[in-house]
Amino acid sequence: MDKRNKVLFLCTGNSCRSQMAQGFCRKYHSGEIKPFSAGIVKHGLNRLAVKVMEEAGVDISGQFSKTVDDLDEKDFDFVVTVCDDAYEKCPYFPAVTAVIHRNFDDPPRLAAEAATDEEALVHYRRVRDEIKKFVIDLPSVLHS
């Protein structure tokens, strides 16, 4: 039986922030955390998120956008909302599921006025690095 904590990273569209968090969690905590990601709605996997994660040594290209209803797993130990919208619209989870909220800026929104991918990537990299730091520290957050 798998004794790892089941952690769902929840975002608005499951296209970027929650996907990054899931990827980093797999890389750094696969022995103690079984990560999932989902969104309130599906927006498709963001290609620039895939690119910046690849730069960080994490391949999320095989992941796909999904909602909580699309997941086979429903019994999570923790739900981490990674944006205010997901926190406000968070679906109901059983009382045993702890909800942790940590808002990260939305890279696509920040990069909306960027003239090139390179200009846009600055925003994606900053948010990626913030998510990475949060995920690296996640076990201590879960058990505090």
Q: What is the pLDDT of residue 142?
A: 87
CB 41 within 8 A of CB 83: no
Facing residues of 38 across strands? 10
Distance (Å, whole) CA 112 – CA 107: 8
**Can you tell me which residue has the tokens 């970027």?**
16
23 and 58 in contact (C-beta within 8 Å)?
Answer: yes
Tell me what pLDDT residue 95 has.
67
Ranges of the chain whose pLDDT falls below 50: none
- Provide the CATH number for the domain formed by 5-139 in this structure: 3.40.50.2300
Q: Which residues are catalytic?
A: 11, 83, 90
Query: What are the tokens at 68?
Result: 């909580």
The per-residue pLDDT for 121 is 98
> Would you list the domain boundaries of the chain?
5-139
Alpha-carbon span 144 to 136, nearest angstrom: 15
Whether 76 and 36 have beta carbons less than 8 Å apart is answered as yes
